Amino acid sequence: MYKRDQHYNEKISTEDLYKELDTHYNGETDLVRNLMSYAITDELIETRHELSCANEELWCLNDWPEGEGFGSSDRSEYLRRIKETVAFERSFLQAENELVQINKLEESPKNDTVRAYMKMNDKLKEGMVA
């Protein structure tokens, strides 16, 4: 039976997430690290994978001009983006896991298959609500 990398996807403590941030993301700018820290503190992130997703969402800020301000509305926008990205990743991993269990797969299904399954589930949910 297929087994996802538990080390990367298991929930870990806030303290361990900060250790991951300090160990693996020390090359990022202070702005990026600060926003990742906020995401950990606000409990938007629970796994190493989600920390990585947050970092990907914030990469563009490594080029943020030092003289240009970064206000609370900017902070809120990037934390919102992290929240959306993490929510999608959680849904994706759940759908992937369901497909593996339902079909007794030996390996992870293709990305397109998982996305199609997610869309089908969304349409079914819409039909139940309507």
Structural domain containing residue 88: 6-129
Residues 6 or more apart in contact with residue 6 via CB below 8 angstroms = none
pTM of the model: 0.84
Secondary structure class of 56 (helix, strand, coil): helix
Q: Residues 25-57: pLDDT tens digits?
A: 999 999 999 999 999 999 999 999 999 999 999
In a domain, 98, yes or no: yes
Within a domain: 39:
yes
Integer Cα distance of 27 and 21 in angstroms: 10
Q: What is the pLDDT of residues 78-100, one digit of tens each?
A: 999 999 999 999 999 999 999 99
Sequence-ordered alpha helix ranges (H) in 2-108: 6-9, 14-24, 30-41, 48-58, 72-103
The predicted pLDDT at position 25 comes to 96
**Looking at the 3D structure of the chain, how many domains does it have?**
1
The whole-number pLDDT of residue 1 equals 43
* Distances 49 to 72, 99, 128 between C-alpha atoms, Å: 26, 20, 32
- 1 within some domain: no
Instruction: Identify whether 48 is part of a domain.
Output: yes
